[in-house]
Amino acid sequence: MMTLLQGNWSLFIGRFHPLLVHLPIGMLIVAFILEVMSKNRRLAVLSAAVLPVLVFGALSAVAACIAGWLLSTSGGYDEDALDLHMWMGIGVAAISVLLCVFRRYALFRNAWLPVSFVMIVLLSAAGHFGGNLTHGEDYLTAALPFGKNRSAEATPAIANLPEAKVYDQLVMPILEEKCYSCHNEAKLKGGLRLDGMDNIKKGGENGPVIKDSVPEASELYKRLVLSESDDKRMPPKGKPQLTPQQLEILYWWIEQGASPTATVKELHRTARMQLVLDGMKPSGGSDANPFVPQEEVSEASGQDVAALEKIGVKVMPVANENGFVMINAVNAPGFGNKEAELLLPLKKQIVWLKLSNTQTGDSALKLISQLPELTRLHLENTPVTDAGLTHLAGCKQLKYLNLVGTKVTDKGILLLQKNAALKELFLYKTAVTPAALGQLRKAMPEMKIDTGGYVMPVLVTDTLVYRKQRT
């Protein structure tokens, strides 16, 4: 009974430490300011106020020390960092008591100010290290307005999601954001460190936190989904919680074996995770369009652009201050193999090329294959044939290819296997057969092929007019 009471009280009082410490901080600083001000002859009267303030400051410093010591016994802090903070705190309390004595008995008058100054320096240092213990060592430096922007680093824009490392790029940023502050080198709450794969594997005082790829049995996930009022809930009540997406990522990572090195593409994508991954794909924003390269390119020469504009072909930068261009021949139905030569001077810049309903033929495709940055190519209703598609392998970046209403056949589209980047292929109104489609789908499972020809069922309700029955 006695021990139980004692244990409860010590922790309870200990938790007042963060509150109590602010009293000596305020009071001792005021005492120091009064001390300095009283040196001015006109304000000399203030000297009398120093002692009462100092006494309160010293008493609260002692109280804070006691509470701090009680709190430290609850464990979970890095010993070295804690020792430093503790001895500095005790130092502050001791000096403040000493100063009270000096003042009360008017001893060493000349030492009052210097000793006060030392006390304030010590106080600041103790406060800083105390803050580090609670919030983590990089709490202050992470928010530095200049230099390396750490918060941006913590949530990197994931441009190439399938190739992203699951632990490095998805899991670690979450732990860093929501868990590191209590589970780091300095503040091992529950004996657990979550900074670094080795530390996660080691687990905490209750053993490993990841068990056999079963998230529901692993403390690292289990505690995150406990009721918020539960003592074991992590992060504890009042601290920033994980978002549903972050929970889903941790669940998936543990379920798939908590590998330190796997990439997104290597792990099996559950339906739930696919939704989260879809949401993480870069969308909007200046650098997010999947059809425009990230790197920069010089602006196209005005002369080359003018040559195309002259025959009615529109050349437009994809965005302001972006060298890459999109080209649309909607006003140049006569655009054909000869005119395609005008594209070559812009080969570094062209990313989107819309040649639908023009005379673009197979020999034009030979020229187009020399456009290394091309990502979108519209060839619908043009005279291109299989012979033209043999050239397209040169467009390594090609992601979108529209062949609607062309004469391409099975032979031609099977050549597209060489375009590894191809994601979308449109074959409506072509002679391509299901057999070739099957083969292509097997070879390129990531690619979306649309052969169109959609019909809608005829329903009774299509023509049914609803009227009130009239009698």
Judged by CB under 8 A, the residue of 246, 359, 360, 402 near another protein is 402
CB burial of residue 260 (10 Å; 0-12, 13-18, 19+): middle
Least distance from another protein to the Cβ atom of residue 265, Å: 18
| Residue 316 lies near another protein (rule: CB under 8 A) | yes
**How far is it, in rounded angstroms, from Cα 242 to Cα 222?**
13
Least distance from another protein to the Cβ atom of residue 207, Å: 39
Segment holding 10, helix H or strand E: helix 2-14
CB burial of residue 311 (10 Å; 0-12, 13-18, 19+): middle
Q: Per the omega criterion (within 30 degrees of 0), is the bond before 235 cis?
A: yes
**How far is it, in rounded angstroms, from Cα 144 to Cα 122?**
24
Least distance from another protein to the Cβ atom of residue 174, Å: 19
Judged by beta carbon, residue 89 or residue 412, the one nearer another protein is 412
Judged by CB under 8 A, the residue of 162, 207, 434, 452 near another protein is 452
**How far is it, in rounded angstroms, from Cα 412 to Cα 179?**
54
| Residue 303 lies near another protein (rule: CB under 8 A) | no
| Residue 311 lies near another protein (rule: CB under 8 A) | no
Listed ranges 75-83, 244-252, 326-334, 433-441: which one lies at the site for another protein (CB under 8 A): 326-334
| Residue 446 lies near another protein (rule: CB under 8 A) | no
Record the tokens describing residue 349, joined without a space.
């810049």
CA-wise closest residue to 215 among 270, 265, 160? 270
| Residue 421 lies near another protein (rule: CB under 8 A) | no
Judged by CB under 8 A, the residue of 73, 283, 301, 433 near another protein is 283
| Residue 257 lies near another protein (rule: CB under 8 A) | no
Record the tokens describing residue 16, joined without a space.
């007042």
For residue 260, give the amino acid letter: P
Judged by beta carbon, residue 20 or residue 292, the one nearer another protein is 292
Concatenating the DSSP letter of every residue in 371-423 gives -TT--EEE-TTS---HHHHTGGGG-TT--EEE-TTS---HHHHHGGGG-TT--
| Residue 328 lies near another protein (rule: CB under 8 A) | yes
| Residue 274 lies near another protein (rule: CB under 8 A) | no
Total residues binding another protein (CB under 8 A): 51
Judged by CB under 8 A, the residue of 22, 281, 338, 396 near another protein is 281
Judged by CB under 8 A, the residue of 404, 413, 416, 440 near another protein is 404
Judged by beta carbon, residue 252 or residue 426, the one nearer another protein is 426
Q: Provide the b/e sequence for 124-138 (b: ≥16 CB within 10 Å).
A: ebbbebbbbbeebbe
**How far is it, in rounded angstroms, from Cα 464 to Cα 466?**
6
| Residue 321 lies near another protein (rule: CB under 8 A) | yes
| Residue 157 lies near another protein (rule: CB under 8 A) | no
Least distance from another protein to the Cβ atom of residue 281, Å: 5
Least distance from another protein to the Cβ atom of residue 448, Å: 10
Least distance from another protein to the Cβ atom of residue 310, Å: 13
Q: Write down the H helix ranges in 259-310.
A: 271-280, 302-310
Listed ranges 163-171, 223-231, 253-261, 272-280: which one lies at the site for another protein (CB under 8 A): 272-280
**How far is it, in rounded angstroms, from Cα 335 to Cα 324?**
21
Judged by CB under 8 A, the residue of 301, 331, 370, 433 near another protein is 331
Listed ranges 21-29, 52-60, 88-96, 274-282: which one lies at the site for another protein (CB under 8 A): 274-282
| Residue 330 lies near another protein (rule: CB under 8 A) | yes
| Residue 244 lies near another protein (rule: CB under 8 A) | no
**How far is it, in rounded angstroms, from Cα 36 to Cα 256?**
64
**How far is it, in rounded angstroms, from Cα 80 to Cα 95?**
23
Judged by CB under 8 A, the residue of 52, 173, 196, 317 near another protein is 317
Q: Token pair 């504009």 is at which residue? A: 309
Judged by beta carbon, residue 239 or residue 265, the one nearer another protein is 265
For residues 382 and 356, the answer to whether their CB atoms sit within 8 Å is: yes
| Residue 278 lies near another protein (rule: CB under 8 A) | yes
Record the tokens describing residue 337, joined without a space.
């193999």
**How far is it, in rounded angstroms, from Cα 263 to Cα 161?**
9
Helices 22-37/47-72 angle, 10° precision: 160
Judged by CB under 8 A, the residue of 350, 378, 395, 440 near another protein is 378
Least distance from another protein to the Cβ atom of residue 320, Å: 5
| Residue 455 lies near another protein (rule: CB under 8 A) | yes
Judged by beta carbon, residue 17 or residue 378, the one nearer another protein is 378
**How far is it, in rounded angstroms, from Cα 137 to Cα 165?**
26
Q: Residues with Cβ < 8 Å from 212, sequence gap 6 or more?
A: none
Binding site residues, another protein, CB under 8 A: 278-289, 291-292, 312, 314, 316-322, 324, 328, 330-331, 356, 378, 380, 400, 402, 404, 424, 426, 428, 450-456, 459, 461-462, 464-468
